[in-house]
Amino acid sequence: MNTGGIIISLSQQVTISSSLFILNTAQNGGAILFTNINQLVQFKSCSFYHNTAFSSGGALYFEDIGTCLINFDIQTKVYENKALIGGGLRITSSISGNLNIPLKFPFYENVYNNTATIYGDDSTTYLQSIVVQKYDFQQQKSEYIFEFYNNQSDLPKDYKQYYSKYVKINNFQSGSNLYLRVYIVDNYNRYLSFSLQNLINGSYPSDVETELKSIQILFDNINTKYSQLIGEKILNYNQYNSTSLGYEITSLQVQGALQTAQVFSISSNIYSQSQIQLPVMMEVQFRECQIGEIIQDLTNQISICKFCQTGTYSLVDPQYLYQQSQNSQENYIKNQCYPCPVSALSCQGSVIQLKNGYWRSSETTDEILECDTNNNSCQAENPLNKNGCVEGYMGPLCEQCDIIGEVWNGKRYTKSIQQKQCEICASRLIQYFYILLKGVLLGAYFIFTMKVFVDQFIFSQRCYYLRIIKLIPISKNSIKDYSGFYIKILITYFQLSQLLIQQPQNSKNSHLCFN
């Protein structure tokens, strides 16, 4: 046990046998640091555990060993050691691009159950590659379609020899920001993880701090004639998020020729020491501009889709608007977003939020009409409105009642006689009861009328024959039947009611509401 460790340097071959290294600490290589060993380092029946390195290589640290072989026999174990980088062991080179990976690396049978704070839990060299993911910046969901392919075999055929991984982005709005999270992984595919605050405060050892601060990720466009990148093209530790463990890109604007696919590259300086030294290919498919945007030319080939910001809108197809604005004979058409009308509460993109008291036939028109304020049925500001109408109303200017329930989820409404407002119909059970009651009353009326008619007929016949045989002098007026007169009065009442009381125009459904 010691607090300095062992340094072995400038040797051809090194053999360590039948040794136990426990509870040792050092800056690099908690137990042993090897540097400039030319041919062979071998371990026989050795154990390394509970050792700690303040920087790299919890138990063993190899530096500038070139093509030197590292052999562990089956009895040698390296376990439960700790470091910031390479919990079990680490192999490094002071010359960029001069690192050789020994056979059997990362020595799974001998090096295990070690812990690294930053990366490389058991055996490691340097960070190896990058992984790219899409993320929603500040809860803003992006409309573009993102795909990441981790295998080189998934690359388009013509690009396989130039790139190692593939990012494919479809339906991208030219001129909008690209929101990506880039992870750097080690040979175990573990994400690089460090505390940004500790790095800024200088809490890490100088060699670890230098390594972390030197990491850069570069976004570059291949065809500068048809695409360009504006803004945050180089990421470093300042863009690292210690919670998500990734480098976050939030201020990179991507511009390109509309309806084309352009190729970009994502590279990093970690590739100078990694086993994978090819960058990531990023293909962006630029969509055409959509309603709510206008086309703006930046160069002869590059255009952007400018989104109509708050207070402006556009409901015209941007391709048509652009073409018409270019026509000198129709230059009265402006290729621009229009200011929000006074009848609107707010506007943005292709969205016009109307004020209460106004109506339009659909969300694709800016022809806005003022409603009748007496019934207050046009309530576009109401979050429960449908087609700008309050519950129960429908149609132009929200003046009709939904009598068959086609808009309000099966609920049927009718206009009340007293208040001239749409009110919900009674339940079907009550309506069936009314129908049955009216049927019973109508049947009773027919029976009663028939009885009255028969009685009156018998009475009139008796009177007739008594008058004919001159037994009793009975005049015709005394036997006159008034039932027909009463029926005419009732029919006249119903006819006048139909004319004077407004009735629903839509009669698709045979069920009626009864008030």
User: Has residue 507 got a pLDDT over 60?
Assistant: no
Structural domain contains residue 77: yes
Contact between residue 144 and residue 173 where contact means Cβ atoms under 8 Å apart: yes
What's the number of domains the chain is made of?
Answer: 3
Q: What is the CATH number of the domain that holds 259?
A: 2.60.40
pLDDT band at 217 (very low <50, low <70, confident <90, very high): very high
User: Has residue 448 got a pLDDT over 90?
Assistant: no
Question: How confident is the model at residue 426, as a pLDDT?
Answer: 72
User: Has residue 508 got a pLDDT over 60?
Assistant: no
Q: Are residues 103 and 183 in the same domain?
A: no
Question: How confident is the model at residue 512, as a pLDDT?
Answer: 46
Phi-psi group of 486: left, alpha or beta (phi > 0 → left; psi -120 to 50 → alpha; rest → beta): alpha
271-316 tens-digit pLDDT = 888 887 899 999 999 999 999 999 999 999 999 999 999 999 999 9
Contact between residue 365 and residue 343 where contact means Cβ atoms under 8 Å apart: no
Question: How confident is the model at residue 343, as a pLDDT?
Answer: 92
392-421 tens-digit pLDDT = 898 899 988 888 888 888 888 887 766 668
Q: Are residues 165 and 72 in the same domain?
A: no
Residue 296 contacts by C-beta under 8 Å, 6 or more apart in sequence? 175, 303, 304, 305, 306
Question: How confident is the model at residue 90, as a pLDDT?
Answer: 96
Q: Are residues 151 and 278 in the same domain?
A: yes
Dihedrals φ, ψ of 438, to 5°? -65, -35
Beta bridge partners of 34: 8, 62
170-183 tens-digit pLDDT = 999 999 999 999 99
Structural domain contains residue 498: no
Taking residues 231-257, report their average pLDDT: 94
User: Has residue 205 got a pLDDT over 90?
Assistant: yes
Structural domain contains residue 191: yes
Question: How confident is the model at residue 480, as a pLDDT?
Answer: 55
Taking residues 192-207, report their average pLDDT: 96
Q: Are residues 31 and 90 in the same domain?
A: yes
Taking residues 156-184, report their average pLDDT: 94
Question: How confident is the model at residue 27, as a pLDDT?
Answer: 94
Question: How confident is the model at residue 437, as a pLDDT?
Answer: 84
User: Has residue 2 got a pLDDT over 80?
Assistant: no
89-109 tens-digit pLDDT = 999 998 877 788 898 999 999
Q: Are residues 161 and 211 in the same domain?
A: yes
Domain boundary among 78, 98, 124: 124
Question: How confident is the model at residue 485, as a pLDDT?
Answer: 66
Kindly state the percentage of the chain with pLDDT values over 90. Answer: 59
Structural domain contains residue 334: no
User: Has residue 500 got a pLDDT over 70?
Assistant: no
Best-predicted range by mean pLDDT among 120-134, 318-332, 491-505?
A: 120-134
pLDDT band at 503 (very low <50, low <70, confident <90, very high): low
User: Has residue 58 got a pLDDT over 50?
Assistant: yes
User: Has residue 77 got a pLDDT over 80?
Assistant: yes
Taking residues 211-238, report their average pLDDT: 94
Taking residues 136-141, report their average pLDDT: 71
Question: How confident is the model at residue 479, as a pLDDT?
Answer: 52
pLDDT band at 475 (very low <50, low <70, confident <90, very high): low
Would you say the C-alpha torsion 230, 236, 241, 247 has a positive or negative sign? positive
Question: How confident is the model at residue 120, as a pLDDT?
Answer: 95
How many other CB atoms sit within 10 Å of the CB of residue 278? 19
Taking residues 325-335, report their average pLDDT: 68
Question: How confident is the model at residue 506, as a pLDDT?
Answer: 42
Structural domain contains residue 422: no
Question: How confident is the model at residue 481, as a pLDDT?
Answer: 57
Question: How confident is the model at residue 1, as a pLDDT?
Answer: 47
Domain boundary among 248, 268, 286: 286
User: Has residue 434 got a pLDDT over 80?
Assistant: no
Structural domain contains residue 233: yes
Q: Which residue has the higher pLDDT, 327 or 229?
A: 229
Alpha-carbon distance values, 295 to 83, 239, 251 (Å): 55, 32, 21
pLDDT band at 441 (very low <50, low <70, confident <90, very high): confident
Q: What is the mean pLDDT of the chain?
A: 87
Domain boundary among 225, 251, 286: 286
Q: Are residues 162 and 259 in the same domain?
A: yes
User: Has residue 245 got a pLDDT over 80?
Assistant: yes
Structural domain contains residue 136: yes
Whole-number Å distance between alpha carbons of 68 and 293: 62
Question: Among the listed ranges 45-54, 136-145, 254-263, which one has the minimum average pLDDT value?
Answer: 136-145
Domain with 232, as residue range(s), is: 129-286
Structural domain contains residue 38: yes
Q: Which residue has the higher pLDDT, 454 or 186?
A: 186
CA-wise closest residue to 246 among 138, 135, 126, 168: 135
pLDDT band at 433 (very low <50, low <70, confident <90, very high): confident
Whole-number Å distance between alpha carbons of 199 and 243: 14
Q: Are residues 77 and 183 in the same domain?
A: no
Q: Are residues 133 and 120 in the same domain?
A: no
User: Has residue 490 got a pLDDT over 80?
Assistant: no
Contact between residue 166 and residue 154 where contact means Cβ atoms under 8 Å apart: yes
117 class by beta-carbon count within 10 Å (0-12 exposed, 13-18 middle, 19+ buried) = middle
- Helix ranges (H only) for 301-396 are 318-326
Secondary structure element (H or E) that encloses residue 445, with its range = helix 428-468
Q: Are residues 21 and 114 in the same domain?
A: yes
Q: Are residues 167 and 218 in the same domain?
A: yes
Alpha-carbon distance values, 326 to 152, 289, 295, 301 (Å): 45, 16, 12, 16
For residue 106, cis peptide bond before it (omega within 30 degrees of 0): yes
Q: Are residues 146 and 192 in the same domain?
A: yes
Q: Are residues 133 and 224 in the same domain?
A: yes
Whole-number Å distance between alpha carbons of 272 and 127: 10
User: Has residue 165 got a pLDDT over 80?
Assistant: yes
What is the bridge-based pairing of β-strands 20-22 and 47-49?
Answer: parallel
Question: How confident is the model at residue 95, as a pLDDT?
Answer: 85
